[in-house]
Amino acid sequence: MQGRFYDGTDATARTAQLRFEAGALTIEADGQTYDWPVAELSVDVHAGEARVSRRRSDARVILSAEDWRKLTAGQRQVRSHSAAGGRGLVIGLVAAAAVTALVVFVGVPLASGPLARATPLEYERRMGESYDLQISAVFPACQGEAGQGVLQGLGDRLAAQAQSPFPIQVRAVHAPMINAFALPGGHVLITDDLIAEAETPDEVAAVLAHEIAHVERRHVMQSVWRSLGAGMLLDLIVGGGSGAGQQAVLLAGQASELSFGRAAEAESDEVGRSYLHAAGLSSRGMADFFERMQAEEVDTPQEIDEVSEWWMTHPNTALRIQAARAAERDGAAALSPQDWQTLQAACSAQGEDGRGPWEITIPGRRPGNDPMPGKPDEVSQNR
């Protein structure tokens, strides 16, 4: 049988005579003879040609697929990789992708809860301190010490109704957004824009109770574990590198975060209301605050709003209002008029010590209403 032989040293094709003898493929070309043991042959059949090579060698022989079938007739130990084998590889890759997606979208979120509860408290405490230091560099604390004391006192009253594994540490910060978020280890931050937007102390109390619920249920630690799970998959799939592969895994992790985020936010609304009721405080501020936030949102057709419910990290605002109204109760005001005024002054332009707040400028964003760059939910659970 005749074929084209390449000795691996250059691109010259040499005419070769091929035959099987004594369990080896014998190749005669340019007066030289090469014996390749059958066990060392690698064969790829594609586009009507058979490419035969010897493992750990650059040499190869190419002949028609039909001639190769004739040559190997009776040689059962010789295996060829054909287009069918390529289809098997594709099927294998698709199956691997399906398993990966199942782990990212189902396995990691399901495991995050038990892992969060099993995480040593000291580990989470140290993590929270690290996060707190990083965020403080961008969002400095408001300078009004008396107002900070009022806010911490309100946090203490609500935390007394919770079963938090950590002491709750609350502070107001300067940040260009209406928001509040919990960090690992019991740190809760309330932005100055949120305090300014709130019309009553009951609204601040409702937001604060919601964030304390995140701490008690260890939702933030669950988010950390989900991020770690996505990171481990990233190392497994794309070797921890960068580029399209990395972005695909990160986007998958963000998508798995969406459904969990909505469930956690709804749970924290409910648990937060229970703190307010147990403390004898009014829970009407929760729906009041949501309604005003909804009024500032851009109106969308009902169909779009229903579709967006799936994609939003937080539950649909209208549904949150409905749930809050159905469960609200009357109670005492969260703060006295004097304490409320003190809290509002904590982040004023000329704080109690006469010093103005830090100026924070984020290119392309206007202060007051835009969300935190980099999606705040990646490090916290928001209002």
CB-CB neighbours of 133 under 10 Å: 9
CA pair distance 127, 270, nearest whole angstrom: 27
Give the pLDDT of residue 96: 63
Give the pLDDT of residue 106: 57
Cα within 13 Å of Cα(153), Cβ side: 14
Give the pLDDT of residue 349: 55
Structure tokens at 195: 């305090």
CA pair distance 227, 261, nearest whole angstrom: 13
8 Å CB contact between 276 and 190? no
Angle (nearest 5°) at CA 234 between 229 and 238: 160
Give the pLDDT of residue 101: 55
Please list the ranges in the chain whose pLDDT falls under 50. Answer: 82-85, 232-242, 244-260, 300, 303-313, 350-383
Give the pLDDT of residue 154: 97
CA pair distance 110, 371, nearest whole angstrom: 28
- Which whole-number Å values give the CA distances from 35 to 2, 9, 20, 29, 40, in the listed order? 15, 18, 9, 12, 11
Residue range 2-81, CATH number: 2.30.29
Model pLDDT for residues 248-280, shown as the tens digit of each residue = 444 444 444 444 477 888 899 999 999 999 999
Give the pLDDT of residue 54: 87
| Residue positions counted in the chain | 383
Residue extents of the structural domains in the chain:
2-81, 98-382
CB-CB neighbours of 297 under 10 Å: 10
Q: Is 253 helix (H, G, I), strand (E, B) or coil?
A: helix
Give the pLDDT of residue 90: 60
